[in-house]
Structure 1
């Protein structure tokens, strides 16, 4: 059972992973799934450049930060857009 204070964090992370490209999502999941893996190992496994994967990672962190800071506002805007 997950502590209630972490449930929203997990929901935010899952949402962010669901809206980015699948290839990007796999890289992010790989990095965070193993606390012993280095970023260099993820880069090597993915067969992409370091800078490209670092950009994906930074973009994910930025998106997650925006969602955690403004999530309620995004939900409201989405509902309004769907009703229009």
Structure 2
């Protein structure tokens, strides 16, 4: 069963979040957070995550076969990405503030 982060990522890659951002301002922040997280991970990880969440009918096994990586590696990449996204979504503003303070010091 998918969790809220999985649903959010599916909505992001399907374009639903872009459509909803006019109705729900939180969607705009979610888009920014996901885009940021995708920009800081390795391209190989980004490709696997994008492949999986862009197509709701694809399985991890199919993504593994296409990438030539093990199932456990890809699941680790996905879990690490979801963990990073969760931290950014919960504490992103705090990180921005700390970064600004560090740059001013």
Output the TM-score relative to the length of structure 1.
0.91
Q: RMSD in angstroms over aligned alpha carbons?
A: 1.2
Report Cα offsets for 1:10-51 as digits up to 9, x if no partner: 110000000111111111111111111111111111100111
1:27 to 48, 57, 63: 48
4+ residue runs over 4 A deviation? none
- Size of the alignment, in residue pairs? 84
Tell me the secondary structure at the aligned position of residue 28 of structure 2: helix
Output the TM-score relative to the length of structure 2.
0.74
Q: Which runs of 5+ in 1 are unaligned?
A: none
Q: Which runs of 5+ in 2 are unaligned?
A: 1-18
| Counterparts of 2:66 and 2:104, CA distance in 1 | 43
Partner of 2:103: 82
Partner of 1:65: 86
